[in-house]
Structure 1
Amino acid sequence: MGILDTDGKLIFIIFLGLIIATAIIAPIANQVVANTQTISIPNTTITSPAAANGTLDLQGRELLTTLTIANETADLTGLGLSLRTATSATTGLRTVQLIANDSAFNFGEGNINVSYTANPDGYVSDSGARAITVLIVLFSALAALVFVIVMLFTGSFGKLVRGS
């Protein structure tokens, strides 16, 4: 196989550069989305705490809204079950917890369905910081675009545009 001409090298470099840029930008973009959007937990089945005034750690770092707390027969929100944001006794991290007071144990230990909205672990709570994290992805994509444009203008396309 002979030596690649200039345009062949250029296409190879652009292709390789875009693959590397995509491989770097994609995980950053996924993490930005995970850290800047709230999560909705619909109808998750959990087992009630086994002791009076017991707590159970759930998914999420900060509770935004409680939609429902129910078992198979009734809505349990008014029966002493509630969700709150607190520090976990097991992990020491801020988390969403289900708390049961004494009146909640009329039905005994059993399955409970919970629906709520929360901020995920790692959520960026400051609006300015959220904007900056989105800008990181935007500027990374712009850097990849500038790379392609610069590479195009160094090859025969640049000669065509310059008229030489």
Structure 2
Amino acid sequence: RHMRTHTGNKPFACPECDYKAGQKYHLNIHMRTHSGDKPFACSECNYKAAHKWLLIEHLRAHIGYKPFECSHCTYKASRKSSLIHHMQTHTDYKPFECVECNYKTSRKCDLKKHMRIHTGDKPFACSECNHRAAQLTNLKTHMQTHANKSAKKRFK
């Protein structure tokens, strides 16, 4: 089994996509991306993660731990990937352009999100009502209205 790390042999193939793993354990962890299984739950909020390391990163937000600092401004982040994303704001390199308007971005995923403005796509659905949102952050803001309503009912 250990030798596979040296040979590159990956006999365990995902039946859902082209992912291959050298160990069955790694394939099982990967399968969570398809099943939606998130066994690691935050004790502070309703966040759940598919991987333990994601939960650990999430917990940093609750304690305000932000070890990654921008060298150009006062921005601080709890995750290195967030700092890398932020650093792109300090550059003019924006290869992803909207064909509908003059929006430009350094990240393909940001262009994909932006395109929802033009297409009207709203993939995020509220579990409490029929509200839909184009951005996850907008859905989270909307969900607070339900939390506030239920809190008011409890204290009446």
Normalised by the shorter chain, which TM-score bucket? under 0.3
Q: TM-score, normalised by structure 1?
A: 0.20
Larger % of strand: which?
1
Who wins on radius of gyration, i.e. which is larger?
1
Q: TM-score, normalised by structure 2?
A: 0.21
